[in-house]
Chains A and B, each alone.
Chain A
Amino acid sequence: MIYDLIIIGAGPAGAAASVYAGRKKIKTLLLTESFGGQSIVSDNIENWIGIKKISGFELAKILEDHVRAHEEVEIKMPEKAVSVKEVSSGWEVSTYNGGIYQSKTLIVTSGGRRRRLNVPGEDKFDGKGVSYCSTCDAPLFKDKEVAVIGGGNAGLEAVIDLIHYASKIYIINHGSELSGDQSTQEEIRKSPKVVVINNAETQEILGDRFVTAIKYLDKQSNQVKELSVGGIFVEIGSIPNSEFMKGLIEMNKAGEIIVDHRTLATSKPGIFAAGDVTDEIYKQNNISVGDAIAATLSAYNYLLNIKKQSPAYENKNSN
């Protein structure tokens, strides 16, 4: 069977595309590992329009419920696209579990994932002092000295999670000043526990059974310095989940899929993309939803055009 549309990923973008595709009665297949996207680990989302406060977990559930209300959308989960190639009918997606699915159009909403430091010791001490989830793990660092890598909003929020527990928090910041929101900066600067280290590049994570220290380069003095810490929270942004599309469509240097921001079309006809996997500047849940809806409407128009061009359609209309 050839689907009209395959949607890859079910964060806010993929869920929005699925709901709109369902309402347009487009024969759709949704391939996803899970629902909810990167916000699922957030304990508090306060900017999802229409809801004052919701956890990432609850948001994932309401998105899944909304998608499942549409019978036209077939769901394969947990499933993951590993490659896509061009075929005569459109596109062919191969999956992690060995599935092969064809469709006339594709919407790529595979989102992003946490960027890792890529320094020695990071993998070895993952879960042994290195954490990527401050809301989860902060309570385990009671009365310990810790480092937060990253001075953006996510880094500052990790600091806030840790303030109740850790005895001292170093912020290892790449830039010359913190880049997170002013209001959050003011909040953390009130705490005597917080020490900001600017112009610093993490070089190595040290330890025995657990993390014991971090080494960083002080870019101003060009000296390597070491801090004794029991925990390291990595908050240095995200990278796009676009590897499976490499070589097929145009991407920028960061690996983000380049889209026409009016239509969400990619460099290949019939393939659209939306959300954090694209070169959209603002990585926001609400924007991902809006862009995915535009992508779905573009895919719908594209499908109508193929139908009009097909010989069967012309025969039917000339009689």
Chain B
Amino acid sequence: MANKVVIYTTPECVYCKMTKEFFKENNVVYEEKDVSVDDKARDEMVEKSGQLGVPVTDINGKIIVGFDKEKLSEILGIKN
């Protein structure tokens, strides 16, 4: 089954960029929601994660806060 990956970002956030780059390097398909313009996505992110900070990644309902390469790799089954 393919992973459903959603990343909540803001345009100038470097850890968001790193996370997206990590996904690209590992051929992970993801949907990006820019919470600086999408208020609905912002509320959804805050509700899901209890966080007021980006990036937040949702992988099949599992929430990862920040660019946590180890945790992302583990959930996505990526070997370094």
Contacts and interface: CB of A to CB of B under 8 A. Distances in A.
Whether chain B is bound by chain A comes out as yes
Interface of A: 40-41, 43, 55-57, 127-129, 131, 133, 135-142, 209-211, 231
Nearest to A144: B52
Give the 5 A-B CB pairs with smallest separation, nearest first.
Answer: A139-B36, A136-B13, A43-B12, A135-B12, A127-B53
A135 B46 CA distance: 18
Interface string B7-45: 000101111111000000000000000011001001000
A41 B17 CA distance: 11
B52 A57 contact: no
B14 A137 contact: no
Nearest to B8: A140
Q: How large is the interface on B (under 10, 10 to 19, 20 to 34, 35 or more residues)?
A: 10 to 19
Contact of A41 (B14, B42, B46): B14
A138 B35 CA distance: 10
B52 A128 contact: yes
A304 to B, nearest CB: 39
Given A209-B50, A210-B52, A140 B42 contact: yes
Interface of B: 10, 12-18, 35-36, 39, 42, 46, 50-54, 65
Contact of B39 (A135, A137, A142, A209): A142
B54 A140 contact: yes
Nearest to B13: A136
A138 B52 CA distance: 10
29 contacts: A40-B14, A41-B14, A43-B14, A55-B14, A56-B14, A57-B14, A57-B17, A127-B51, A127-B52, A127-B53, A127-B65, A128-B51, A131-B53, A133-B53, A136-B12, A136-B14, A136-B15, A137-B10, A137-B13, A137-B52, A137-B53, A137-B54, A139-B10, A139-B36, A140-B42, A140-B52, A140-B54, A141-B52, A211-B52
B54 A136 contact: yes
Given A133-B53, A136-B15, A139-B42, 19 more contacts: A43-B14, A55-B14, A56-B14, A57-B14, A57-B18, A128-B51, A129-B52, A131-B53, A135-B12, A136-B10, A136-B16, A136-B53, A137-B13, A137-B53, A137-B54, A138-B10, A139-B10, A140-B46, A231-B52
B63 to A, nearest CB: 12
Given A135-B13, A136-B16, A128 B50 contact: yes
Contacts of A210: 52
B24 to A, nearest CB: 14
A136 B66 CA distance: 11
Nearest to B21: A57
A40 B16 CA distance: 12
A201 B79 CA distance: 47
A196 B68 CA distance: 36
Nearest to A231: B52
A56 B1 CA distance: 37
A140 B14 contact: no
